[in-house]
Amino acid sequence: MIPVILDAIPAFNFPPEFDAPLVDQVYQLTPEATSFEYILPSFSDPAGDSVSIIINSMSSFMAFDMSMNTLSFNDAIAGSFVLDIVLTDQFGMQLHSSLKIDVLAEV
């Protein structure tokens, strides 16, 4: 009988996690301030697996810089926005988180 070697999938796999909680944000627009940045907490996998990140529901004025782990809001518009953030490890385990961004109109 020929032994079969399965891919190295850990017996116990846990989803990735943020190293600190996501904190909902509130920004106030002014004539001078229409751009903002939010640095996401770092994230990792308890088993040391590689982790990817996807941010869904971003508006056209939002961008994510993966190398800096930063959300940018350029020429923001007033409104309430909820971002769906998904961390996925190399074996498909996922963590779904939400981040609420409130951008307040000029006063």
In 3D space, the residue among 55, 50, 51, 52 whose CA is nearest the CA of residue 38 turns out to be 55
What is residue 106's predicted lDDT score, i.e. its pLDDT? 87
What is residue 32's predicted lDDT score, i.e. its pLDDT? 87
Secondary structure letter of residue 97 according to DSSP: E
Q: Please tell me the pTM assigned to this model.
A: 0.83
What does pLDDT average to over the chain?
90
In 3D space, the residue among 96, 106, 107, 97 whose CA is nearest the CA of residue 24 turns out to be 97
Checking if the pLDDT of 60 tops 80, the result is: yes
pLDDT bracket for residue 8 (50, 70, 90): low
CA atoms within 13 A on the CB side of 8: 2
In 3D space, the residue among 27, 81, 92 whose CA is nearest the CA of residue 55 turns out to be 81
Per DSSP, the residues of 3-56 read --------SS----EESS----EEEE--SS---EEEEPPPEE-TT---EEEEEE
Quick: pLDDT tens for 35-56. 999 999 999 999 999 999 999 9
What is residue 87's predicted lDDT score, i.e. its pLDDT? 97
Checking if the pLDDT of 6 tops 60, the result is: no
